[in-house]
Chain A
Amino acid sequence: MLTEIQLWAIFNGTIVTLQIAIVAIVFGAVFGVVVALGRLSKNKVANALSWFYIWFFRGTPLLLQLFMIFYAIPIIYLDATGITFEINPMIAAFVAFSLNATAYLAEIIRAAIESIDGGQMEAAKALGMSYRQAMTKIIIPQTYKRLVAPLGNELIMLLKDTSLVSTIALFDLLRTTKTMASATGSWIYYIYAAAIYLFLTTIIQVVFDKMEKKLGIYER
């Protein structure tokens, strides 16, 4: 069985994993809307910037993005200013995962906005609403239900991908259990890890299913 120290270590690893996933999904959802609106915008600059953003963050490995923020930025900073500084690995993880989630969610949000019938924007404009009012009061609220399921998927992906942070000196759930497994030579720790991942992903599944039903009340 687990010692108390091991139990706490696993608990802390789980918290690290959860923190990164939750920060990334919240940040990603908010900024994903911004990037999605950029992609839908007629403004060429906004459109190009958001295209580039999505292109970069979806087109390169998350691990690479993590390395760039954690390892490359301090080196660039040192070369430029001669001052050494270190990035807190937790901050680096928050930033990398958030930026990455933003790119994926932006595409999901854009697709959801585009799936809303064009008559909705026309009706809103015919009533005198500005583009901004129509988007925030009419179009975007109708995407919520359609966004719940992909948002849940993304959260589950993020939760599993947090295991990448072991490469920047963070002890997430997987790394904690792996260390125990190597130290003791027992495989049981991997079972504990799997059980915790499954527990968390199941909760996410259930909560998001409930949310989807609740947001759909107006559809009959």
Chain B
Amino acid sequence: MSMVKLVNVRKSFGDLEVLKGVNLEVQQGEVVCIIGASGSGKSTMLRCLNHLERISDGEIYIEDVLSDKRANNKDQIKIDPVTVQSLCTDLGMVFQNFNLFPHLTVLDNVTIAPLIVKKEDKKVAETRALDLLSMVGLSQKKDEYPSRLSGGQQQRVAIARALAMDPKIMMFDEPTSALDPELVGEVLATMRQLAEKGMTMLIVTHEIGFAREVADRVIFMDGGVICEEGTPEEVLLNPKEERTKSFLNKIL
């Protein structure tokens, strides 16, 4: 099954066109790493998928269901907010800056969305949250506030928080870029664990080694389009495009 599909997606901020016709299809269980220079539209692409940004043109399908279709910034289908909301909660998102809720404990960070969005029973939500926290290795921190945790721990809580909504697809936007180098490994290990469990993942990252190891497919974005894509070996080791080569030279 195709989990995510973008058809000719364009996105402009005013006069600035950031996505210039992106086509991408991600299959169930696939791990896709997205690389590319700053400003190439990687974050924007992810943010369009869960409607944090609305696309200007094109179509988006989540699990083969049309979730957005627009032309010239106008809706082409009637968007039913309930359907869109449930499609968007199938997409979990992890941010570069964690964005944990600072006024809530670790446990409450993980349970709040199931409680108020899914109206889950408190006991059920807490049991599940504790499972997720032990999966990311943080069950003993459940009563701490986020400010007491290291960056790596905060990011692992953020992963647990996203997983608590039972997403079918996890999106990571540079999840380790804000971390001290010695904390990167623990977050990548958690992500690797998810990949092994068969989670469909879209990961924007500059960790080329990690991409080589876990990605089924690597996408190189440049200037608002997908410039090159293929297996990690193809894109990272034997890039065909000049732009891919020069980008890799710069970051390696």
Residues of A in contact with B (beta carbons under 8 Å apart) = 117, 119-120, 122-130, 133, 137-138, 141-142, 217-220
* Chain B residue, CB-CB nearest to A127: B113
Which residues of B lie under 8 Å from residue A219 when comparing CB positions?
102, 145, 147
What's the dominant secondary structure at chain A's contact region?
helix
Q: How far is the CA of A176 from the CA of B1 in the complex (A)?
A: 80
Does B191 make an interface contact (CB < 8 A)? no
**CB-based contact A128/B88 at 8 Å:** yes
**CB-based contact A218/B145 at 8 Å:** yes
Selected A-B contacts with CB under 8 Å, 9 pairs: A119-B95, A122-B99, A123-B100, A126-B91, A129-B117, A137-B116, A138-B112, A218-B103, A218-B146
* Chain A residue, CB-CB nearest to B89: A128
By CB atoms of chain A within 10 A, which of B85, B100, B116 has the most? B116
Q: A137-B112, A217-B145, A220-B148 are in contact. Are A142 and B117 (CB under 8 A)?
A: no
Q: How far is the CA of A117 from the CA of B86 in the complex (A)?
A: 25
Q: How far is the CA of A21 from the CA of B147 in the complex (A)?
A: 37
Does B52 make an interface contact (CB < 8 A)? yes
Which residues of B lie under 8 Å from residue A127 when comparing CB positions?
89, 112-113, 117, 161-162, 165
How distant is B176 from chain A, measured CB to nearest CB, in Å? 17
Q: How far is the CA of A220 from the CA of B144 in the complex (A)?
A: 10
Does B97 make an interface contact (CB < 8 A)? yes
Q: A133 touches which one: B88, B102, B116, B161 (CB < 8 A)?
A: B116
Q: How far is the CA of A127 from the CA of B86 in the complex (A)?
A: 10
Does B31 make an interface contact (CB < 8 A)? no
Q: How far is the CA of A142 from the CA of B112 in the complex (A)?
A: 15
Q: Mark B80-103, 1 if CB is under 8 A from A, else 0.
A: 000001101101110101011111
Which residues of A lie under 8 Å from residue B117 when comparing CB positions?
127-129, 133
**CB-based contact A122/B162 at 8 Å:** no
Q: How far is the CA of A127 from the CA of B90 in the complex (A)?
A: 9
Which residues of B lie under 8 Å from residue A137 when comparing CB positions?
112, 116
Which residues of A lie under 8 Å from residue B165 when comparing CB positions?
127-128
By CB atoms of chain B within 10 A, which of A123, A129, A219, A220 has the most? A123
**CB-based contact A126/B52 at 8 Å:** yes
How distant is A134 from chain B, measured CB to nearest CB, in Å? 10
How distant is B45 from chain A, measured CB to nearest CB, in Å? 15
Does B153 make an interface contact (CB < 8 A)? no
**CB-based contact B147/A120 at 8 Å:** no
Which residues of A lie under 8 Å from residue B102 when comparing CB positions?
142, 218-219
Q: How far is the CA of A120 from the CA of B104 in the complex (A)?
A: 12
Which residues of B lie under 8 Å from residue A138 when comparing CB positions?
101, 112
Given contacts A142-B103, A219-B145, 17 further A-B contacts (CB under 8 A): A117-B99, A120-B99, A120-B101, A123-B99, A123-B158, A126-B91, A126-B92, A127-B117, A127-B162, A128-B118, A129-B113, A137-B112, A137-B116, A142-B101, A218-B145, A218-B146, A220-B148
How distant is B110 from chain A, measured CB to nearest CB, in Å? 10
**CB-based contact A128/B99 at 8 Å:** no
Q: How far is the CA of A162 from the CA of B145 in the complex (A)?
A: 42
Which residues of A lie under 8 Å from residue B97 when comparing CB positions?
119
* Chain B residue, CB-CB nearest to A215: B103
How distant is A132 from chain B, measured CB to nearest CB, in Å? 10
Q: B52 touches which one: A125, A142, A220 (CB < 8 A)?
A: A125
Which residues of A lie under 8 Å from residue B155 when comparing CB positions?
none
Q: A123 touches which one: B85, B88, B101 (CB < 8 A)?
A: B101
Give the top 6 A-B pairs by smallest Cβ distance, nearest first.
Answer: A128-B89, A123-B99, A127-B113, A119-B99, A126-B93, A218-B145
